[in-house]
Amino acid sequence: MVTEESAEIDVPSGKISKQLGVFYNPVMKLNRDVSVLLLDSVPDKDMQIALPLAGSGVRGIRFFKELKKGKIKSIAFNDYKTSESIKKNLEMNRVKGEVFGKDANMFLLESRGFDYIDIDPFGSPNPFLDSAIVRLARNGILAVTATDTAALAGSSPLACRRKYWAKPLRNEFMHETAIRILIRKVQLVGAEHEKSLRPIFSYSKDHYYRVFLRAEKGRKKADELLKEHAYLLWNRKTQERKVSEHNCLKGFDYAGPMWVGGLWDKKLVKAMLKNSDKDNKKLFGLVSLISEESEIDAVGFYDLHRLSQAKKKPIPKVEDVVRKGVSRTHFLGWGVRTRNSINKIM
């Protein structure tokens, strides 16, 4: 028996793997905390929610028990391996949801559609993107987790090219470029269905990347979104970086193509910070950091250690560098985000 916030679930013990079937991963509690906080902070009401890879059902149970009254119309839980366990956990928590035991894609495609779809797989979300986007309602929210960080962050660059149609870059801001590459992939799949998917909240944590995207219908909106795909060029020696439509510049390596627009909806982030429980230190700490860096509209950030090395200067404290136009970043403890030139940072 495991307790997570308001939910109690019955799960077997054992090493977490694809073969285990139903399992509980305590490391992903923050992932679920953010989901609850985000849904509580958006203005949406009477949401029809889909969990195609529901696992133990803990995420949906927490939605039922923790979200404000009027937020949820229905939750559909699906998992072809664990549907019976989900039914037991729902009953134990005295909440009612529809439970299915289908293949995730079949479950989505046979449905009428949903206002919120959460894709939280073991590995890449790619196999589920098409069916999820097809069944995502107008103005709906798509939540996507990717745990194949080796591909997205550059340890396996060929895997990234195959799966995400982009070149990663393994350096200090690899986790940000990874998220931007992931977002672009979701947007390209959306564009096939004439849907625009704009990120409203994104973060990197532990072994995974997580993005929430708001959908809008229309080919013109999808076309406009694609204009915000570009490359990030990076000079290893000088630490200079540039956003460019092209991937070729003497002395520069590159990552992309990727999404170079905003990673966060600033109004939503402020609402999340206001609603965040200060006693939940991991959640409050993450949202607090993101509330700072979301104010800086910049692609990439600077590693103060690398920058000091390049400029042959002592490493400054982060708090001594942060000021108007310069923020900390949740991607790296000694990183700063700014639109200022390198010479103005230190």
Global pTM? 0.95
Residue 247 reports pLDDT greater than 90: yes
Same domain membership, residue 314 and residue 286: no
Contacts of 49 (CB under 8 A, 6+ apart): 60, 63, 72, 74, 75, 76, 114, 115, 116, 117, 118
Q: Say if residues 197 and 117 touch (Cβ distance below 8 Å).
A: no
For residue 301, give the amino acid letter.
Answer: F
Same domain membership, residue 132 and residue 90: yes
Same domain membership, residue 320 and residue 266: no
Q: How many CB atoms within 10 Å of residue 207?
A: 11
CA–CA dist 48, 58 (Å, integer)? 17
Domain boundary at 266, 292, 318, which? Answer: 292
How many domains would you assign to the chain?
2
Token pair, residue 136, equals 């995502």
Same domain membership, residue 326 and residue 286: no
Token pair, residue 251, equals 């002395």
Same domain membership, residue 163 and residue 186: yes
| The pLDDT value given to residue 15 | 59
Residue 18 reports pLDDT greater than 60: no
Same domain membership, residue 328 and residue 219: no
Count of CA atoms in the C-beta half-sphere (13 A) of 242: 12
User: In which band, very low, low, confident or very high, does the pLDDT at 178 lie, cut at 50, 70 and 90?
Assistant: very high
Same domain membership, residue 335 and residue 222: no
Tell me the pLDDT tens digit for each residue of 94-131.
999 999 999 999 999 999 999 999 999 999 999 999 99
User: In which band, very low, low, confident or very high, does the pLDDT at 23 lie, cut at 50, 70 and 90?
Assistant: confident
User: In which band, very low, low, confident or very high, does the pLDDT at 344 lie, cut at 50, 70 and 90?
Assistant: confident
Candidates 2, 25, 29, 23; CA nearest to 93 is: 2
Q: What is the CATH number of the domain that holds 304?
A: 3.30.56.70
| The pLDDT value given to residue 9 | 94
Same domain membership, residue 309 and residue 180: no
| The pLDDT value given to residue 333 | 95
| The pLDDT value given to residue 209 | 99
Calculate mean pLDDT across residues 73-102: 97
Residue 14 reports pLDDT greater than 80: no
| The pLDDT value given to residue 185 | 99
Same domain membership, residue 176 and residue 101: yes
Same domain membership, residue 340 and residue 283: no
Looking at per-residue pLDDT, the higher value among 132 and 22 belongs to 132
User: In which band, very low, low, confident or very high, does the pLDDT at 21 lie, cut at 50, 70 and 90?
Assistant: low
* Least confident residue range of 1-15, 69-83, 173-187: 1-15
Percent of the chain with pLDDT over 70: 97
Residue 211 reports pLDDT greater than 60: yes
Residue 25 reports pLDDT greater than 90: no
Residue 5 reports pLDDT greater than 70: yes
CA angle 185, 198, 29 (to 5 degrees): 80
Q: What is the CATH number of the domain that holds 167?
A: 3.40.50.150
Q: How many CB atoms within 10 Å of residue 82?
A: 24
Same domain membership, residue 187 and residue 245: yes
Looking at per-residue pLDDT, the higher value among 180 and 344 belongs to 180
Calculate mean pLDDT across residues 141-147: 99
Q: Say if residues 33 and 281 touch (Cβ distance below 8 Å).
A: no
Average pLDDT, the chain: 95
Q: Tokens 């790619």 — which residue?
A: 126
Q: How far is CA 342 from CA 100, 234, 246, 255, 306, in A?
A: 54, 13, 22, 20, 12
Q: Which domain holds residue 328?
A: 300-345
Same domain membership, residue 194 and residue 317: no
Quick one: DSSP state of residue 247?
A: S
Q: How far is CA 134 from CA 98, 117, 143, 193, 194, in A?
A: 20, 11, 14, 7, 10
Evaluate the omega torsion of the peptide bond into residue 12 and state whether it is cis, within 30 degrees of 0: no
Residue 179 reports pLDDT greater than 70: yes
